[in-house]
């Protein structure tokens, strides 16, 4: 199970440097990733605790698996943030184990903005809170892919090994088989000759 928490930070641009942040907030199941499945969700973000000025940057960070895996801070509003942000969260896994998490922010594609006009309006309305940000969860399952590739390589190798064993076995018995066929042929020829001679003697 992946438990997701959300951290929010309002960081003014230096100088001077100071920052404030919220406590971790557990997300509802509908806003969390589903293990092994890619999905797009709209995560609510609360109003900053302090006044949000022109030079401020509103950032977000995710925590997974009991704070074992943290993403970098990504800007949602202010300097360095896109007009309509899309947060792409990549979760690395091996089987059922979560190995790590990363996040980056991009400008939401036009098709996303067309499908979510309310979220776009919230982002553009500075007085509207809480806002919702689009978050796309994806899983990196390279270990599983490597396992599949290993199986794909293993089957041809096993088949080749079986063919080699069969050829070796045939080479080993070829001489014996040839001798057996020669003996059978010789016995058949001898028996036929004896029968022919017997028939010839009776005819006389």
Handedness of CA 131, 134, 140, 145 (dihedral sign): positive
Cis peptide before 15 (omega within 30 of 0): yes
Q: Residue 50 has what DSSP assignment?
A: S
Query: What's the confidence (pLDDT) of residue 102?
Result: 95
Number of domain units in the chain = 2
pLDDT in single tens digits along all 204 residues of the chain: 344 455 544 443 333 334 677 777 888 888 889 888 999 999 998 888 777 777 788 888 999 888 889 999 999 988 889 999 999 999 999 888 889 999 999 999 999 999 999 999 999 998 899 999 999 999 998 755 555 566 667 777 777 777 777 767 667 666 666 676 666 666 656 655 555 555 555 554
Confidence (pLDDT) at 10: 41
Q: Are residues 23 and 101 in the same domain?
A: yes
Q: Is the same domain home to 122 and 172?
A: no
Nearest to 2 by CA among 66, 85, 83, 72: 66
Instruction: Give the sign of the dihedral formed by CA 187, CA 189, CA 191, CA 197.
Output: negative
Same domain (yes/no): 150, 111: no
CB 62 within 8 A of CB 71: yes
The pLDDT of residue 72: 92
Same-domain pairing of 11 and 41: yes
Co-location of 105 and 186 in the same domain: no
pTM value surpassing 0.75: no
Question: Residue 91: helix, strand or coil by DSSP?
Answer: strand
Residue recorded with tokens 């302090």: 50
Do residues 38 and 139 touch, judged by C-beta distance below 8 A? yes
Return the pLDDT at 16. Answer: 34
106 and 151 belong to one structural domain: no
> What does the pLDDT read at residue 111?
94
The answer on 167 and 80 residing in a single domain is no
Out of 123, 140, 157, pick the residue that ends a domain: 140
| pLDDT reported for residue 19 | 63
Q: Are residues 118 and 184 in the same domain?
A: no
Q: Are residues 203 and 178 in the same domain?
A: yes
Token pair of 46 as six digits: 């609360």
Residue 134 sits in the same domain as residue 177: no
Query: What pLDDT was estimated at residue 46?
Result: 86
Instruction: Examine the fold and report which residue of 140, 165, 182 is the final residue of a domain before the chain moves on.
Output: 140
The verdict on 136 and 158 lying in the same domain is no
Which range marks the domain in which residue 27 is found? 4-140
Is residue 62 within 8 Å of 5, Cβ to Cβ? yes
68 and 149 part of one domain? no
Q: What is the pLDDT of residue 55?
A: 77
Residue 197, H or E segment: helix 142-203
Out of 91, 118, 140, a domain closes at: 140
């Amino acid at each position: 199970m992946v438990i997701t928490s959300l951290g929010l930070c309002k960081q003014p641009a230096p100088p001077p440097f100071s920052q404030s942040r919220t406590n971790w907030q557990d997300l509802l199941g509908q806003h969390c990733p589903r293990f092994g499945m890619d999905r797009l969700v709209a995560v609510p973000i609360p109003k900053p605790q302090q006044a949000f000025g022109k030079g401020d940057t509103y950032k977000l960070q995710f925590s997974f698996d009991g704070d074992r895996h943290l993403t970098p801070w990504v800007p949602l509003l202010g300097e360095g943030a896109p007009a309509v942000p899309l947060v792409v969260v990549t979760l690395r896994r091996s089987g059922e184990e979560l190995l790590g998490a990363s996040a980056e922010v991009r400008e939401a594609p036009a098709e996303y903005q067309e499908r979510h006009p309310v979220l776009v309006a919230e982002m553009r309305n500075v007085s509207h809170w809480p806002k919702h940000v689009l978050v796309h969860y994806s899983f990196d399952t390279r270990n599983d892919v490597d396992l599949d590739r290993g199986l794909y390589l293993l089957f041809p190798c096993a088949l080749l090994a079986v063919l080699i064993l069969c050829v070796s076995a045939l080479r080993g018995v070829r001489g014996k088989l040839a001798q057996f066929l020669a003996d059978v042929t010789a016995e058949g020829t001898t028996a036929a000759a004896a029968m022919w001679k017997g028939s010839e003697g009776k005819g006389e």
